Amino acid sequence: MFNISPELLPYFKGYCSSSEVILLFVYMKCRFSLSYRDLEEMMRMRGARVDHSTLQRWVIKFVPLIDKAVRKRKRPVGSSWRMDETYVKLNGKWIYLYRAVDRYGDTVDFFLSEHRDKSSTLSFFRKAITENNIPKKVVIDKSGSNKAALDAINTDLDQDHTIQILQNKYLNNRVEQDHRFIKKRIKPMLGFKNFYSASITISGIENIRMIQKGQVRGAKNHLSTFENFAILMAA
C-alpha cells in the first residue's frame, strides 16, 4: 500500500491492524464526507471487522502525528491574510472555528474555541503568527472582537511592523468559500460529542486539506492527494 516512516512505527505497536491500514482509514475519514459507520462497512469490505468506535479512537490517536508532519513541512504562506470564523455543533450547541487563508487561498491556520470573543481571537492570531510569522495585512469582517485582537497585537509591535487591518466582507469571500470544504467533511458527523474529539478531527480535516492544496514540501502536482499523503507519512 505505502511505506511508513520508521520514526512513526512505534506509535502503532500493539494494534491488531497494520500501520498502513490504520493511516488509510484515518486519511479517508479526514479526506471524504464519510461517517464512522460508513468506514466500518468499508473495513468489512476489506475483510476486517473493526467497529466504528475503534475507528474513532484511531482518528483521535493518529491525527496528531499527521498534524506534526504537515506543520514540519508546510510551505510559507503569503503575508496578506483573510480571517473569519465559522460554526461547528458540539452537543447541540454552536462553537467557533477560527480560520485564515492567504490571498492565494492557502490555509494559514485554524483554532477551535467555545467562545467568540477578543480572547479567543487573540489566541488564534498568536497561534497563527507563531507558526507563520507576522502578516503585513489581515482582512476581517466587521466583528469588533477580531479588530480588538489585532489592535492588541499591534500594540506589542514596532510602529514600522504593525499589521494593516482591513475590514471588508467582500475581500473576505475567499476564506468564507474555503469554509465550505471543511464543513462538508464535518456534516456527516451530525455534531461532536466532546471538544477534544472535535478539535482533533477538525485538525485532521484541515491538514489533509492543506496536502490537497499542495502546501506541504515534497508534494507533487501530478500526484493525487492520497499519493502526496503517502509521501509525507514515509518521510
What b/e string do you get for 119-150 counting C-beta neighbours within 10 Å, with b at 16 or more? ebbbebbeebbeebeebeebbbbebebbbebb
pLDDT for residue 1 is more than 70: no
pLDDT for residue 111 is more than 90: yes
Instruction: Summarize the confidence of residues 43-52 as an average pLDDT.
Output: 84
Instruction: Domain ranges for the chain, please list them.
Output: 9-74+216-234, 80-181
Q: What is the SS3 assignment for 89?
A: strand
* Domain at 80-181, CATH class: alpha beta
pLDDT score for 38: 92
Q: Give the chain's mean pLDDT.
A: 93
**pTM, to two decimals:** 0.94
Q: Specify whether the CB–CB gap between 199 and 111 falls below 8 A.
A: no
